[in-house]
């Protein structure tokens, strides 16, 4: 038997032995391996040969030519509907239920490829498993004899593909309003696609060929995901599809063309649609093609919804897909909302772990956008949050604005009325102030006249004072000084320095007294008159014996001498009533001196240091209690016998300049600067 007869015999045996395509060509041609390539080519051209044998001179078998051969069984074909990928779709009638269905079958050429037949049958099986509103239901297999081409019947969906809807949305004027009804409908359809894919993933099925052309939008709003031909069950081990042009190729993608239509489905080592596939799918890294790959393709569909084009374009689309390099959506369409662009970019991350974990998470973010809520893919600014709050409370904001407007109107009216009243009040006030000014001027003139009269009397009286001083007439001097002074109830005090100097001469003032060669300016008897304590002009403190004039105690340095403000006499003394104890302050230290009767002198008994400068000190009458006043406003109390101490913050930082303690030591008075 020659080569041609052998090939024809193999062709007859092929139809009889391998009706479902379950035996590979290599196994079938194992007796004639040298004819494998020719038999493969003969199978691919069998449809054309059949047409020629039937008298059709056209080299290509048209889908309409198959209608007459598809009238048997439950689903007789009525007419051809559409073609896509490797299949033809016909409109058929269900004999049992009297409904119109879609019948899909393989085209004659791929029908001769066992791998294509397997994929087609598996598409029907997987689609039938996915009982979901977003998946076209399968009604059964049939339509053509299985030895010619496998086929299955499914629901006939009338409508447009999502690709067409996207194009119509973008083309009218090039401007997209994503808050419009058309924009919301597209995004809601995309939400349904996400839900469908999430359901498929829950059944361990990945689609691997998601694109806008494989999504049908029905006439009544239904959204269906089509073409599950490249779908895979994650729970099964699946061999890679082989490029028909190279039977020796198993996993390499070297025969995949570098220039392909970006929306055409590839078969072979690289599966899917270039414009929408994930980088791991484009590289043929099938161990990494998992649900995250479908999420990438969903992001690519969203990219096309936003920009009216697939992420990868032109001759370098496959290379770009493998490298995952594409322009951000807002670089193509500036009107794309930031939230939608962020959702798209997150779904299309090159690293699968950086994408959404599930299709439901992607769906939830789209729904958050539609509900005007913040999306997880983007951190909003404070201004955007404020805008959203205003939108969510639009009625309240409008009512608030209306109330604010009414308030402004009422406030304006009130302010106008108040301004008028204020003008009236201001006029009355100005008139009153003018009257007051005139009264003050009149009072000033009267006061000046009175002051001039008082000054004239003062000058005359001071002349009499000067004469009384010269004549040494104390009674007359006192009378004239009184007359020269201010009158009772009069606000005018004409006295000058000459009056005070005259008064000082009359009443003694602080006249130094020479004691033992030193000028003393103040003294006081103590210890029942046995001793006298005095200050001299150099602020030195001395204690003298009144009988012998012997100096019993003297400070080597100047000490603070307290004076009574009115009498200008020393009024407080840093000593006990019996003069047995003295307290002398020096900066931040107080020295305690006690009378030593055996030596007849005062001896240093204690030296007490403080953290702040001592401005004043005082002793109780018995000399047991020492009280000190400091520059930080604190008063320190100390029992010199028990060394018990107390501290009081009485002036909050103002210096204590003078202290006096009651005889019993129970009460304290002080003066602060």
Are residues 332 and 303 part of one domain?
A: yes
How much is the pLDDT for 485? 80
Assigned domain for 448 exists: no
How much is the pLDDT for 580? 86
How much is the pLDDT for 508? 53
Are residues 381 and 367 part of one domain?
A: yes
**How far out from the chain centre does Cα 422 lie?**
48
Contacts of 393 (CB under 8 A, 6+ apart): none
Assigned domain for 190 exists: yes
Is this model's pTM higher than 0.85 or not? Answer: no
How much is the pLDDT for 359? 96
Question: Read out DSSP for 332-396?
Answer: H-TTS-HHHHHHHHHHT-SSGGGS-SSHHHHHHHHHHHHTT---TT-PPPHHHHHHHHHHHTHHH
Assigned domain for 6 exists: no
How much is the pLDDT for 520? 61
Are residues 181 and 91 part of one domain?
A: no
Query: 55: domain range?
Result: 45-156
- The total domain count for the chain is 3
Which residue intervals of 472-548 are DSSP H helices?
474-484, 497-507
The H helix count followed by the E strand count for the chain is 18, 26
Are residues 220 and 111 part of one domain?
A: no
Q: Which of 142, 152, 157 lies closest to 100 in space, CA to CA?
A: 157
Return d(Cα 616, Cα 604) in angstroms, integer.
19
Are residues 152 and 181 part of one domain?
A: no
Distances (CA, A) of 611 to 310, 343, 360: 83, 70, 74
How much is the pLDDT for 346? 96
How is residue 426 written in tokens?
């201001």
Are residues 353 and 210 part of one domain?
A: yes
Assigned domain for 215 exists: yes
Are residues 74 and 115 part of one domain?
A: yes
Assigned domain for 498 exists: no
How much is the pLDDT for 254? 32
Are residues 177 and 202 part of one domain?
A: yes
Assigned domain for 638 exists: yes
3-state helix, strand, coil in the chain (%, to 5): 40, 20, 40
| Location of structure tokens 């404070």 | 382
How much is the pLDDT for 41? 61
Are residues 383 and 249 part of one domain?
A: yes
Are residues 631 and 538 part of one domain?
A: yes
Rg (CA), the chain: 58
Q: Which residues of the chain have pLDDT under 50?
A: 19-22, 48, 51-53, 55-59, 237-262, 264, 266-269, 509-510, 558, 560-571
């Amino acid at each position: 038997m020659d080569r041609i007869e052998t090939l024809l015999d193999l062709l007859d045996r092929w139809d009889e032995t391998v009706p479902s395509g379950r035996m590979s060509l290599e196994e079938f041609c194992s007796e004639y391996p040298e004819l494998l390539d020719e038999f493969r080519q003969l199978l691919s051209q069998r449809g054309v040969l059949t047409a020629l044998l039937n008298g059709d001179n056209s080299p290509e078998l048209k889908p309409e030519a198959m209608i007459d051969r598809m009238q048997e069984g439950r689903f007789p074909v009525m007419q051809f509907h559409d073609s896509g990928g490797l299949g033809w779709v016909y409109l058929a009638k269900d004999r049992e239920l009297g409904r119109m269905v879609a019948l899909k079958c393989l085209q004659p050429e791929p029908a001769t490829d066992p791998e294509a037949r397997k994929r087609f049958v598996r598409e029907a099986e997987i689609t039938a498993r996915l009982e979901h509103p977003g998946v076209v239901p399968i009604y059964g297999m049939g339509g053509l004899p299985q030895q010619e081409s496998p086929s299955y019947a499914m629901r006939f969906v009338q409508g447009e593909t999502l690709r067409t809807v996207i194009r119509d949305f973008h083309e009218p004027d090039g401007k997209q309003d994503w808050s419009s009804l058309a924009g919301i409908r597209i995004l809601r359809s995309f939400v349904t696609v996400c839900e469908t894919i999430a359901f498929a993933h829950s059944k361990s099925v990945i689609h691997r060929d998601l694109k806008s052309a494989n999504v049908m939008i029905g006439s009544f709003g239904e959204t269906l995901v089509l073409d599950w031909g490249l779908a895979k069950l994650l729970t099964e081990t699946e061999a890679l599809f082989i490029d028909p042009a190279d039977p020796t190729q198993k996993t390499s993608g070297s025969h995949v063309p570098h220039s392909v239509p970006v929306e055409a489905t590839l078969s072979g080592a690289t599966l899917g649609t270039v414009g929408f596939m994930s980088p791991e799918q484009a590289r043929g890294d099938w161990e990494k093609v998992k649900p995250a790959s479908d999420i990438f393709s969903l992001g690519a569909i969203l990219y096309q919804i936003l920009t009216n084009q697939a992420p990868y374009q032109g001759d370098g689309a496959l290379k770009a897909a493998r490298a995952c390099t594409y322009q951000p959506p807002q670089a193509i369409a500036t009107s794309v909302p930031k939230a939608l662009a962020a959702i798209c970019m997150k779904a299309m991350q090159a690293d699968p772990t950086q994408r959404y974990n599930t299709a439901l998470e992607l769906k939830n973010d789209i729904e958050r956008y539609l509900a005007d809520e913040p999306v997880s893919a983007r951190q909003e600014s404070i201004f955007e949050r404020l805008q959203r709050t205003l939108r969510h409370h639009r009625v309240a904001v409008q009512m608030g604005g209306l109330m604010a407007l009414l308030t402004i109107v009422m406030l304006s009216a009130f302010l106008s009325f108040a301004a008028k009243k204020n003008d009236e009040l201001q006029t009355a006030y100005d008139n009153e102030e003018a009257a007051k000014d005139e009264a003050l001027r009149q009072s000033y003139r009267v006061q000046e006249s009175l002051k001039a009269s008082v000054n004239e009397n003062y000058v005359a009286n001071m002349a009499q004072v000067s004469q009384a001083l010269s004549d040494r007439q104390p009674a007359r001097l006192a009378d004239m000084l009184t007359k020269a002074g201010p009158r009772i109830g009069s606000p005018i005090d004409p006295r000058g320095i000459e009056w005070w100097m005259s008064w000082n001469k009359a009443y003694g003032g602080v006249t130094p007294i020479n004691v033992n060669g030193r000028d003393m300016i103040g003294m006081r008897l103590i210890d029942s008159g046995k001793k006298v304590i005095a200050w001299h002009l150099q602020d030195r403190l001395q204690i003298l014996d009144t009988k012998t004039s012997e100096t019993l105690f003297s400070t080597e340095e100047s000490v603070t001498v307290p004076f009574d403000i009115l009498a200008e006499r020393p009024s407080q003394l840093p000593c006990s009533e019996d003069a047995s104890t003295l307290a002398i302050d020096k900066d931040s230290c107080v020295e305690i001196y006690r009378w030593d009767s055996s030596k007849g002198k005062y001896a240093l008994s204690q030296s007490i240091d403080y953290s702040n400068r001592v401005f004043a000190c005082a002793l109780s009458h018995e000399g047991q209690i020492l009280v000190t006043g400091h520059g930080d406003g604190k008063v320190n109390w100390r029992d010199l016998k028990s060394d018990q101490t107390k501290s009081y913050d009485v002036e909050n930082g103002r210096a204590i300049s003078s202290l006096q303690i009651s005889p019993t030591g129970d009460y304290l008075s002080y003066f602060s600067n």
